[in-house]
Amino acid sequence: MRSKKDPEQLEPIKRFSLKAHHKKLALFMVALFVLIFGSVMISRHLTTVDAAGADDFVTTWRVEASDPKITINTGYMHTGNPDPSTDADYNYTIYWGDGSSETVNDKSPRTHTYASAGDYQVRIEGTLAHFSACYNWNPCLDDDLDNTKKLVSVDQWGTNQWKDMSGMFAWAENMVGNYTDAPDTSQVHDMEFLFAHADSFNSPVNFDTSNVTTMTGMFSGARSFNQPINFNTSSVTNMGAFLHNAVNFDQPINLDTSSVVDMTMMFAKAHSLSHPIILDTSSATDMAGMFYDKRVFNQTLHLSDTSHVTNMSNMFAGSYFNGLALLTSQ
């Protein structure tokens, strides 16, 4: 015959059961809170992203509590290279990523201060001729340099027709490319220092360069960059320091350099480059330091016509050349 449990013996069991029930209820509430809070946060993120139309230029910036402001530079200052744009080239709205926005009708910089630290996706809707993270980008100093470090990604190029890309991402050492589209560069003539010292950048550069005349320092100091370069460079006259100090670049060189006059430091310190270099140098006049500190290079080097070159100083200084060099004079 089954004996009945003493009520005092049952009490601990009841207390244990009650505690287990409370524990399950607490875990359920925590899980529900996480689910709801997480959904809200994701919803907010998606709302920001979804708000960007396909035409918008979209970037992401990271600010700290100690310096929660960013500056969007459109016009620029660079000694010896005056800004060709006018106020008429700018008519756009900036959505700062925190619910605020402003409309701009001139080329003066715009600064925004955030209420708290974090990552903010900034989108620009409308027309602008030029953009840069650093206003005075050669060299980029002090507050300008701090601003460039806050730019962490280019998320979308949009459909804006750029007119000038000089110094656009110069010194933006934390910037990566998360875009899947390509910019409209059909009207661009100047790509000088476009990605100079953008140390983290290593994304495709499928750009229309048919009207570009200047590529000076375009990837200079872009230490992570190693993407194919399939540019139409038939109009380019200046490629000085084009891949200077692009230490990880190792892609075939297929460039029309028939119009290039300045090749100064063009491949200097491009330590990893290990492909044949065959260039039309019929217009070149300056090759100073062209392969300076290239280190080891054991591929074919063919420079088609050096008859107009007046400066070859330090052309191979610091390089250990062990390939076939053909420098012809016609």
pLDDT surpasses 60 at 287: yes
Q: What percent of the chain has pLDDT over 90?
A: 69
- Is residue 226, in this structure, part of any structural domain at all? yes
Q: Around Cβ 83, how many Cβ atoms within 10 Å?
A: 16
Number of domains forming the structure of the chain: 2
- Is residue 259, in this structure, part of any structural domain at all? yes
Higher-confidence residue of 43 and 290: namely 290
pLDDT tens readout for residues 99-108: 999 999 998 9
pLDDT surpasses 90 at 56: yes
pLDDT tens readout for residues 2-35: 444 454 554 544 454 545 555 555 555 545 554 5
Q: What is the mean pLDDT of residues 269-278?
A: 94
Higher-confidence residue of 229 and 52: namely 229
Q: What is the mean pLDDT of residues 300-328?
A: 84
- Is residue 319, in this structure, part of any structural domain at all? yes
- Is residue 133, in this structure, part of any structural domain at all? no
3 state SS for the chain:
CCCCCCHHHHHHHHHHHHHHHHHHHHHHHHHHHHHHHHHHHHHHHHHHHHCCCCCCEEEEEEEECCECEEEEECCCCCCCCCCCCCHHHCEEEEECCCCCEEEECCCCCEEEECCCCEEEEEEEEEECCCCECCCCCCCCCHHHHHHHHHEEEEEECCCCECCCCCCCCCCCCCCEECCCCCCECCCCCECCCCCCCCCCCCCCCCCCCCCCCECCCCCCCCCCCCCCCCCCCCCCCECCCCCCCCCCCCCCCCCCCCCCCECCCCCCCCCCCCCCEEECCCCCCECCCCCCCCEEECCCEEECCCCCCCECCCCCCCEEECCCEEECCC
- Is residue 152, in this structure, part of any structural domain at all? no
- Is residue 79, in this structure, part of any structural domain at all? no
- Tell me the whole-structure pTM to 2 decimals: 0.82
pLDDT (0 to 100) of residue 6: 53
How far, in whole angstroms, is CA 160 from its chain's centroid? 17
pLDDT tens readout for residues 152-168: 999 999 999 999 999 99
What's the mean pLDDT when you consider all of the chain?
86
- Is residue 249, in this structure, part of any structural domain at all? yes
- Is residue 214, in this structure, part of any structural domain at all? yes
How far, in whole angstroms, is CA 318 from its chain's centroid? 30
- Check: CB of residue 287 under 8 Å from CB of residue 307: no
pLDDT surpasses 70 at 204: yes
Residue range(s) defining the domain that contains residue 15 = 10-50
pLDDT surpasses 70 at 207: yes
pLDDT (0 to 100) of residue 176: 98
* Res. 44 pLDDT band, cuts 50 70 90: very low
